A and B are shown apart, each in its own frame.
Chain A
Amino acid sequence: MQQQPVKPSLRFWADRPLTFKGLVVIALPLAVLLGSLVSLYLASDAESRAEDDVRRAFAIQRDTYQVHALLAEAAAGVRGYVLTREDRFLEPYRRAEADLPATMERLDIAIEDQVVRGHFEDLRLVVAQKREGLRSTIELAEGSAAIGPQEVERSFAANKQELDAVRSEIEDVQRTEAIVLERRQRLVDEVRTGFLRLTAVSAAIGLLGSIIGVYLFSTGIVRRVSRLEDNAGKLARGERLIDLPEEADEIGRLAQRLGRASALLRAREDDLRESEERFRLVIERVRDYGIFTLDKQGTVTSWNLGAERIKGWHADEILGQHFSRFYPEETRDYLPAEMLERAREEGAAEDEGWRVRKDGSRFWANVVITALRDEGGELQGFAKVTRDMSERRRSEEALRLAREEAVAANRAKSDFLSRTSHELRTPLNAILGFGQLLEIAEEEFEHPHREAIGQIAKAGRHLLSLINDLLDISSIEAGATELEIEPIDVAPFLEDMHALAAPIVSSAGLKFDLDQSQEPLTIYADRRRATQVILNLIGNAAKYNRTGKRVRLSADAEGDLVRFVVEDDGPGIAEADVPRLFTAFDRLGQQDRARVEGTGLGLALSKSLAESMGGDLRYEPANPGARFCFTLSRVLREAQVTSAGDAEMAK
């Protein structure tokens, strides 16, 4: 899924976790509200300060009135005292003297306004003059027994003047203080309304902000979640997902995971589709098997190339047809139904028998019908695999015949050989027998006849060994020789060979060496035949080594073979003669023939024997002399077992 990019400015916000976003959204309006509360508090604080000012202003007014009242009462009292000389009139004066300083002090502290203070300083002077005036009036009255009316009048007039001045000063103070008060009250009102407005506005903003914030936040989340839900739905339906902005919060991560899941699913789907497609193509293109499907009733619903090739119908011709038409008439009525029934019950049904092609020709088929069921076990139809076995049936038949023929031929060969052997030996028996009888009675004959009798007997014996070797070779080459393969320990076997051949070698005047292998070795061979080969080789070495002094027999391991070597230090074999060494009747050194007895079959027979046991016989030139290497297997070979089995079968 392609992720939508997010604006870099929003990147920080987009990547915060939801808890953080939620906190921010809730906290912001709350902070605004808190701000408005603070401003409310500040407003009330300012208001209370303003109210204090007003209160103080009122106190100043009260005190100034009191100053005026005290002085007025004191003046009135002094006047009464002067007129009556009664001490009780001095009571107000004394009260004024006691209270005024404290009152003046209070005013001095309370007055802050500079203008008012100016007036207050004037007042303080006037009040002091007045108090002075009053005291002098009282002293005057006390000093003179009687004060004349003029003096009293004058004093009163002066007092009145002073009192007026006090009143005027007090009025000034009060007037200016009233102005200050009014100003302050106006200020308090302004502050209060200002703060109230601010509070109202910030509360409104906070409320609105929180509503908007929560709305935006929640609608954002809801929108994203619902998009996510859409995507989940698409995932479930296997559709392509909508691209969502790449954000690192929980929803963003969920979206990314969904995206990855979708990608994974898509990749798997692709793989599956690909493998399905491959599989479909494979099935479609399989040529050796007819693979097709049937519905529950047995109607053909798919058809591959193999089916077309085997049965002859093209897909267009057979789709929708019932599969019973593949069966020949004699089985058509019951076998198709039976096969479906069996497949339905046992899961699969197999059958081998005749089926018909489109052209009506028959073929031998191997058929497997498999019931196709969905996950719930509900039968969906059948798959049928048909193989044309005609060819195999034919080749099996041919193979069987060939095998029988081979066995018969083998037996015939074997019979022929043993009959030949018998037929040749029978007359030879009479020839050799009578020859021997004549030899026994040789004194009864004259010299030339004796010579003739000797020749007949010798030729007869030669003929017999020829027949023996020839039959041996033929029998080996015909595979009619029964080998008795057994494990043979090489060391004692070589000892036996040495002991057996020693007389032959020593009678030729040669030394006979034996070299055993260092390691213990075992060969799998026919003991009699192996002996025959080795004795033949030693015999040859003894016969033909006219110039040397020794014959050597040795054995060594060579891979999974044992190499027996028979070598001599005689004249060896001319290079030109080597290719003919193992050819029957091709005796080398024809000029020596009179002196060396032999059939000319020994090496050919030995090589055949070696090969029949899974070994080999080779010639190698030795300098000087001749070296024959005879190998035999150290492991039991299939071929040996088979040849032994064949021999058994031939028997």
Chain B
Amino acid sequence: MTRRLVESREILSSRILAIDDEEANIALLRNVLEREGYTEIECLTDPRDALATYIDFAPDLVLLDLMMPEVDGFELLEAFGRHDSADEFRPVLVLTADTTIQARRKALALGAKDFVSKPFDVIEVGLRISNLLETRILYQRLRER
């Protein structure tokens, strides 16, 4: 089992927002997350609602698709960045079928904390999610002190 600085209970109680216009992918993500034991999961297939949900739901982690109709992932990354205060650490994991280096660079430059190409390995994605959440929890503890 992975060695953690934070109890897995605390990680699994984190709030996760998944945004993908593809129903099947949302279903897959929900499946993966539930299998891991996460309980606070919010899924969106319409990116136009993303910012409102981001604000209302206040997730600890966002799983974000890039190529979506109406509003794409890059715009959302910018919007999230604008919304969060400077000392906020709310990681975004980009999951996209766009494999180009340009997309990868742009997403990371806009504040995404990690980037995984689709189709992805479900175990790898699960590990990356828990790693990011662990970092966030540690950061918040640091900030509260």
Contact = CB atoms under 8 A, between A and B. Distances in A.
Interface of A: 418, 421-434, 436-437, 440, 460, 464, 651
Given A430-B25, A464-B119, A437 B35 contact: yes
B122 A426 contact: no
27 contacts: A418-B100, A421-B97, A422-B96, A422-B97, A422-B98, A423-B97, A424-B97, A425-B118, A426-B25, A426-B97, A426-B118, A427-B22, A428-B119, A429-B24, A429-B119, A430-B22, A430-B27, A432-B119, A433-B120, A433-B122, A436-B123, A437-B28, A437-B35, A440-B35, A440-B123, A460-B119, A651-B102
Given A424-B97, A437-B31, 20 more contacts: A418-B98, A418-B100, A421-B97, A422-B96, A422-B97, A423-B97, A426-B25, A426-B118, A428-B118, A429-B22, A429-B25, A429-B28, A429-B97, A430-B22, A430-B25, A430-B27, A433-B119, A436-B121, A437-B122, A440-B35
Interface string B100-139: 1010000000000000011111110000000000000000
B31 A429 contact: no
Best-surrounded residue of A418, A422, A430 (most CB of chain B within 10 A) = A430
Contacts of B28: 429-430, 433-434, 437
A429 B123 CA distance: 13
A425 B67 contact: no
B99 interface: yes
A220 to B, nearest CB: 104
Q: What are the 9 closest A-B residue pairs judged by CB atoms, nearest first? A: A425-B97, A430-B24, A429-B118, A429-B119, A433-B28, A432-B119, A422-B97, A426-B97, A436-B122
Main secondary structure of the interface of A (DSSP, over half): helix
Main secondary structure of the interface of B (DSSP, over half): mixed
A418 B31 CA distance: 28
Interface string B27-57: 1100110010000000000000000000000
A460 B28 CA distance: 15
Nearest to B100: A418
A434 B97 contact: no
A21 B69 CA distance: 119
A484 to B, nearest CB: 10
Contacts of B119: 425, 428-429, 431-433, 460, 464
A303 B59 CA distance: 86
Contact of B99 (A425, A433, A434, A436): A425
A422 B24 contact: no
Nearest to B103: A418
B28 to A, nearest CB: 4
B23 to A, nearest CB: 9
A436 B65 CA distance: 20
A495 B31 CA distance: 44
Interface of B: 22, 24-25, 27-28, 31-32, 35, 67, 96-100, 102, 117-123
A426 B22 contact: yes
Contacts of B98: 418, 421-422
A460 B122 CA distance: 14
B129 to A, nearest CB: 14
Contacts of B24: 427, 429-430
Best-surrounded residue of A418, A421, A426 (most CB of chain B within 10 A) = A426
B67 A422 contact: yes
A485 to B, nearest CB: 16
Best-surrounded residue of B25, B67, B117, B118 (most CB of chain A within 10 A) = B118
Given A422-B67, A430-B24, A433-B28, A440 B122 contact: yes
A429 B122 CA distance: 10
Nearest to B35: A437
Contacts of A429: 22, 24-25, 28, 97, 118-120
A429 B97 CA distance: 8
A648 to B, nearest CB: 11
A422 B100 CA distance: 10
B7 to A, nearest CB: 24
Best-surrounded residue of A422, A428, A464 (most CB of chain B within 10 A) = A422
A296 B96 CA distance: 76
B127 to A, nearest CB: 13
B122 A421 contact: no
A423 B21 CA distance: 12
B125 to A, nearest CB: 8
Contacts of A437: 28, 31-32, 35, 122
Contacts of A431: 119
Best-surrounded residue of B96, B97, B121 (most CB of chain A within 10 A) = B97
Contacts of A423: 97
Contacts of B35: 437, 440
B54 to A, nearest CB: 23
A437 B27 CA distance: 12
Nearest to A436: B122
A432 B118 CA distance: 10
B109 to A, nearest CB: 16
A421 B117 CA distance: 12
A431 B96 CA distance: 15
Contacts of A421: 97-99
Best-surrounded residue of A426, A429, A434 (most CB of chain B within 10 A) = A429
Nearest to A460: B119
A155 to B, nearest CB: 191
Contacts of B102: 651
A434 B35 CA distance: 12
A418 B99 CA distance: 8
Nearest to A463: B119
Contacts of A432: 119
A329 to B, nearest CB: 55
A426 B122 CA distance: 14
A434 B31 contact: yes
Contacts of A464: 119
Contacts of B96: 422
A428 B117 CA distance: 12
Contacts of B22: 426-427, 429-430
A625 to B, nearest CB: 36
A433 B97 contact: no
A428 B98 CA distance: 13
A424 B119 CA distance: 10
A641 B76 CA distance: 36
A279 B100 CA distance: 62
Contacts of A424: 97
A304 B67 CA distance: 66
Nearest to B102: A651
Contacts of B100: 418
Nearest to B26: A430
B72 to A, nearest CB: 12
A424 B24 CA distance: 13
A431 B118 CA distance: 11
